[in-house]
């Protein structure tokens, strides 16, 4: 048995190993190397050391502003998306008429691509703002609000489905017992429902967190960073740096590496929390 | 059944893999910059094959993505042989890839050798089209204005308008009479959406910078002459930009989501009398559904910004399209690429396509005077170019820093239009970003 495993090892491993090396390992290594160079095309690079990273943290660059904007956006959207998704999930597990129809309706926005969504919402928001005689590029807070609205609209349905699945798994007896013991609706929600859907909460929290943090299409289509680059989030800022000006590809690449590290940290934290939850349960 | 579907799936996968790594394709690879010419180039490729037996493969980058397409394409083994650079700054980015074209017939036929991109002894970019821009006007609406009994000016024709002061008087009085003229505003909307603002951050900025360069006797061949800029005609830029904003069809606060296409549609539908754009925009005007502007009603006038002795100023005429040949391609491929370009601009068939399908005003001595473009704006450009009494403003924006500078200046213009930035701040953005970007682009 052991021998056979050894013999067939390449047959089983290579089909996944080769794509992994080609499409993941090589690009990552190359990407990190390129962030220390000045380049126009990937095969033609000159080493410049830490120059790109210095530029990235210099005051004239938009990176730190984009980082702060992204963090603010992520916090607000994570909270609102989960709040609304949970509320909708509670509502749609009450057995009201039309439940299935509304579940489908709320899930649908999730199926539309980000660019299309961005342009549609740009039209809607500009239509509303034209009442004030301005448009979404007028102020960064309009862009911020617009993106929160868009993200909520898109993600609530998906998170709602996860919450619904968790809510349906709660044994009905527990709630009955609580009701007999005299618990009111709030107490039963706080002490029975919430603790039992905690795994779903963790998952949804991290899904919205990473989704918001890495957002690109919606940002690109809705505001494009306007006014100026004030509403550029990290991913868009990287894109704008990379393609924006001659000679800045390396700086864009350096930003991408920092971005990669941030996302990796977030994924690590997520893994830690979900694992701990599994042990607890 | 399950097995069968599995086999089918595998087969499909194999087809996928094989098709994606198919071998080198046939013909000289030409990466085209102009999306509006994509269809014409495909016809040209067919004709070229027909006449010479050699094939050409044209790939067109989507609008506004040429640099990024080129960046990824040129790194491949099957890299473009013919590509284009947009001037000295573009050359600075791509100089490792540009072949010296000094000995080619194409360069020999170039009417004005100073137009080519040179570096030391070598010639690395050859311009292939001359274009012009100015203020496009609708003759019918202007004539309607000249026929008004109660107007405040006494111009009899648009030819009398030959300075900023006169232009301003004309435009402001037309705005006062816009209801009678049946227009929403004199100028089409000042499109300032990001990516749609090049008419202002590049084309309009060309004029003040040109006059500044004249004053300073800047040599465009010498990078050190334009490392920094004073933007000394900033107030003139502001004057013409304000004129556009205040006499437009649209409130200045709503410009952040307007595109060039919106402007051209307004002009084509007769909702405005004037729009700043170039001869390439004629196709866009003609293609608008419900177009009310006839070809003979379209005219061109220069953009006057109010410098002294501008009465004899003409259109802004120049090029930002230079052909370059990939230095890293094989010698055979390079020779084939050059042969195609020479065929296109010197053979009878090629020339016919250039004037009739591409609508280019080609800067080569193989074209005689009656072989000009056929669209009304292209004709006007050639006509202005040949006027003895007027001087054309060259396109000095080919030495503007990269896209980052232009985008930031455009964004600042939008914020100025919305009332969120003062003119002094816009001017500071222009001067500072110029300096920063030029330093990284030209090093």
Query: Is there a single domain that holds both residue B346 and residue B313?
Result: no
Q: In chain B, what residues touch A136 (CB-CB under 8 Å)?
A: 256-257
Domain extent at residue B338: 17-130+319-367
Query: Is there a single domain that holds both residue B116 and residue B176?
Result: no
Q: In chain B, what residues touch A43 (CB-CB under 8 Å)?
A: 75
Q: In chain A, what residues touch B20 (CB-CB under 8 Å)?
A: none
Query: Is there a single domain that holds both residue B167 and residue B242?
Result: yes
Instruction: Check which CATH number belongs to the domain holding B35 and give it.
Output: 3.40.190.10
Q: In chain A, what residues touch B90 (CB-CB under 8 Å)?
A: 246
Query: Is there a single domain that holds both residue B342 and residue B314?
Result: no
Residue B14 is predicted with a pLDDT of 55
Assess if residue B429 is contained within a domain: yes
| Contact call for B418 and A246, based on CB within 8 A | no
Residue B144 is predicted with a pLDDT of 94
Query: Is there a single domain that holds both residue B324 and residue B183?
Result: no
Residue B266: count of CB within 10 angstroms of its CB: 23
| Contact call for A245 and B412, based on CB within 8 A | no
Residue A55 banded pLDDT, cuts 50, 70, 90: confident
Question: Which backbone phi and psi does B58 adopt, to 5 degrees?
Answer: -100, 125
Assess if residue B434 is contained within a domain: yes
Q: Which of A42, A60, A246 sits opposite B92 (nearest CB)?
A: A246
- Which CATH code fits A61-280? 1.10.3720.10
A189 DSSP 8-state letter: I
A38 DSSP 8-state letter: E
Query: Is there a single domain that holds both residue B24 and residue B152?
Result: no
C-alpha–C-alpha distance, residues A71 and A213, integer Å = 7
How close does chain A come to B442, measured CA to CA in Å? 9
How close does chain A come to B362, measured CA to CA in Å? 28
**Is the pLDDT reported for residue A264 higher than 80?**
yes
Q: Which range among A61-65, A269-273, B183-187 has the greatest average pLDDT?
A: B183-187
In terms of Cα–Cα distance, which of A105, A116, A62, A68 is closest to A248?
Answer: A62
Assess if residue B377 is contained within a domain: no
pLDDT in tens, A212-231: 999 999 999 999 887 888 89
Question: Which backbone phi and psi does B365 adopt, to 5 degrees?
Answer: -80, 0
| Contact call for A248 and B404, based on CB within 8 A | yes
Query: Is there a single domain that holds both residue B297 and residue B311?
Result: yes
Query: Is there a single domain that holds both residue B273 and residue B339?
Result: no
What ipTM does this complex have?
0.76
Q: Which residues make up the CATH 1.10.3720.10 domain(s) of chain A?
A: 61-280
Assess if residue B327 is contained within a domain: yes
Assess if residue B99 is contained within a domain: yes
Query: In order along chain B (443 residues), what is the average pLDDT of each group of 10 residues?
Result: 57 53 70 88 93 92 84 88 90 90 92 86 92 95 94 91 95 94 95 90 96 92 87 96 95 89 94 94 87 92 92 92 93 94 94 88 86 86 87 91 87 93 95 88 66
Question: Residues of A near B (CB-CB distance < 8 A)?
Answer: 40-44, 60, 122, 126, 130, 133-139, 224-229, 240-241, 243-249
Is the CA virtual torsion A92, A97, A100, A104 positive or negative?
A: negative
Q: What is the mean pLDDT of chain A?
A: 89
Query: Is there a single domain that holds both residue B268 and residue B410?
Result: yes
Residue B208 is predicted with a pLDDT of 96
| Contact call for B254 and A227, based on CB within 8 A | no
A255-259: long-range pairs with CB below 8 Å, 24+: A255/A56, A255/A63, A256/A31, A256/A35, A257/A31, A257/A32, A257/A35, A258/A53, A258/A56, A258/A63, A259/A234, A259/A235
In terms of Cα–Cα distance, which of B94, B293, B98, B101 is closest to B188?
Answer: B293
Secondary structure, 3-state, chain B: CHHHHHHHHHHHHHHHHHHHCCCCCCCEEEEECCHHHHHHHHHHHHHHHHHHCCCEEEEECCCCCHHHHHHHHCCCCCCCCEEEECCHHHHHHHHHHECCCCCCHHHHHECCHHHCEEECCEEEEEECCEEEEEEEEEHHHHHHHHCCCCCCCCCCCHHHCCCHHHHHHHHHHHHHCHHHHCCCEEECCCCCCCCCCHHHHHHHHHHHHHHHHHHHCCCCCCHHHHCCCCCCCHHHHHHHHHHHHHCECCCHHHHHHCCHHHHHHHHHCCCEEEEEEEHHHHHHHHHCCCCCCCHHHEEEECCCCCCCCHHHEEEEEECCCEEEEECCCCHHHHHHHHHHHHHHHHCHHHHHHHHHCCCCECCECCCCHHHCCCCHHHHHHHHHHCCCCCEEECCHHHHCCCHHHHHHHHHHHHHHHCCCCCHHHHHHHHHHHHHHHHHHHHC
Query: Is there a single domain that holds both residue B173 and residue B240?
Result: yes
Q: In chain A, what residues touch B408 (CB-CB under 8 Å)?
A: 228-229
Assess if residue B10 is contained within a domain: no
Residue A169 token pair? 């798994």
| Contact call for B440 and A60, based on CB within 8 A | no
DSSP for A103-136 reads: HHHHHGGGGS-HHHHHHHHHHHHHHHHGGGT--G
pLDDT in tens, A204-215: 999 999 999 999
C-alpha–C-alpha distance, residues B53 and B46, integer Å = 10
The b-or-e profile of B408-438 (16+ CB within 10 A means b, else e) is bbbbbbbbbbbebbeeeebbebbeebbebbb
Assess if residue B374 is contained within a domain: no
C-alpha–C-alpha distance, residues A242 and A31, integer Å = 13
Query: Is there a single domain that holds both residue B139 and residue B196?
Result: yes
Residue A36 token pair? 């220390």
Query: CA B129 from chain center: how many Å?
Result: 10
Residue B111 is predicted with a pLDDT of 86
Task: Estimate the crossing angle of helix B331-346 against helix B348-356, to 10 degrees.
Answer: 70
Assess if residue B376 is contained within a domain: no
Residue B23 is predicted with a pLDDT of 46
Query: Is there a single domain that holds both residue B172 and residue B249?
Result: yes
Number of domains in chain B: 2
């Amino acid at each position: 048995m052991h021998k056979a495993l050894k013999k067939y090892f390449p047959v089983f491993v290579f089909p996944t190993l080769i794509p992994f090396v080609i499409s993941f390992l090589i690009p990552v290594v190359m990407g990190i190397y390129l962030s220390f160079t000045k380049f126009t095309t990937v095969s033609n690079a000159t080493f410049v050391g830490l120059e790109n990273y210095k530029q990235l943290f210099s005051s004239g660059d938009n990176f730190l502003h984009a980082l702060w904007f992204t963090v603010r956006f992520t916090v607000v959207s994570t909270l609102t998306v989960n709040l609304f998704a949970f509320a909708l999930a509670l509502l749609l597990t009450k057995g009201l008429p039309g439940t299935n129809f509304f579940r489908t309706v709320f899930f649908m926005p999730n199926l539309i691509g980000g660019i299309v969504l961005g342009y549609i919402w740009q039209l809607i928001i500009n239509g509303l703002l034209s009442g004030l005689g301005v448009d979404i590029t007028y102020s960064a807070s309009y862009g911020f609000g617009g993106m929160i609205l868009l993200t909520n609209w898109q993600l609530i349905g998906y998170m709602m489905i996860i919450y619904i699945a968790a809510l349906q798994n709660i044994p009905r007896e527990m709630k009955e017992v609580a009701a007999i013991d005299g618990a009111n609706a709030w107490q039963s929600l706080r002490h029975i429902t919430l603790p039992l859907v905690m795994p779903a909460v963790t998952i949804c929290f991290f899904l919205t967190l990473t989704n918001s943090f890495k957002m690109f299409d919606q940002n690109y289509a809705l505001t494009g960073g306007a006014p100026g680059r004030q509403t550029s989030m990290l991913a868009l800022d990287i894109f704008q740096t990379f393609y924006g000006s001659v000679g800045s590809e390396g700086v864009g690449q350096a930003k991408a590496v920092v971005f990669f590290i941030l996302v990796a940290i977030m994924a690590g934290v997520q893994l830690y929390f979900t694992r701990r939850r599994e042990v607890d349960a | 059944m399950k097995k069968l579907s599995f086999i089918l799936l595998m087969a499909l996968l194999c087809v996928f893999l094989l098709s994606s790594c198919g071998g080198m394709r046939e013909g000289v690879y030409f990466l085209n910059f102009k999306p509006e010419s994509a269809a014409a180039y495909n016809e040209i490729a067919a004709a070229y094959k027909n006449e010479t037996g050699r094939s050409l493969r044209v790939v067109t980058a989507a609008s506004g993505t040429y640099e990024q397409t080129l960046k990824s394409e040129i790194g491949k083994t099957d890299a473009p042989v013919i590509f284009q650079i947009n001037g000295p700054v573009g050359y600075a980015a791509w100089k490792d890839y540009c072949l010296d074209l000094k000995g080619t017939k194409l360069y020999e036929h170039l009417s004005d050798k100073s137009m080519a991109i040179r570096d030391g002894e070598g010639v690395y970019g050859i311009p292939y089209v001359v274009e012009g821009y100015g203020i496009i006007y609708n003759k019918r609406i202007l004539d309607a204005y000249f026929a008004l009994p109660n107007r405040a000016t006494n111009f009899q024709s648009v030819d009398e308008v030959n300075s900023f002061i006169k232009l301003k008087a004309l435009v402001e009085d037309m705005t006062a009479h816009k209801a009678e003229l049946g227009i929403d505003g004199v100028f089409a909307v000042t499109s300032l959406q990001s990516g749609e603002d090049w008419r202002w951050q590049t084309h309009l900025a060309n004029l003040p910078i040109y006059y500044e360069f004249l004053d300073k006797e800047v040599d465009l061949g010498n990078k050190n002459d334009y490392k920094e800029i004073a933007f000394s005609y900033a107030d003139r830029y502001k004057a013409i930009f304000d004129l556009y904003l205040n006499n437009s069809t649209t409130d200045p606060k709503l410009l952040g989501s307007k595109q060039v296409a919106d402007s051209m549609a307004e002009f084509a539908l007769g909702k405005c009398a004037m729009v700043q754009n170039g001869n390439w925009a004629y196709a866009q005007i003609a293609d608008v559904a419900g177009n009310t502007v006839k070809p003979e009603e379209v005219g061109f006038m220069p953009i006057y910004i109010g410098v002294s002795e501008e009465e004899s100023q003409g259109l802004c005429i120049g090029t930002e399209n230079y052909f370059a040949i990939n230095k890293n391609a094989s010698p055979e491929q390079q020779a084939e690429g050059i042969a195609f370009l020479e065929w296109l601009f010197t053979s009878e068939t090629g020339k016919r396509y250039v004037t009739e399908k591409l609508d280019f005003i080609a800067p080569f001595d193989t074209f005689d005077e009656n072989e000009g473009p056929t669209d009304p704006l292209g004709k006007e450009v050639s006509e202005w170019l040949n006027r003895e009494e007027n001087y054309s403003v060259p396109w000095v924006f080919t030495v503007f820093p990269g896209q980052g500078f232009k985008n930031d200046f455009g964004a600042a213009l939008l914020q100025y239009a919305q009332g969120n930035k003062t003119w002094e701040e816009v001017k500071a953005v222009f001067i500072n970003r110029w300096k920063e970007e030029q330093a990284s682009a030209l090093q």
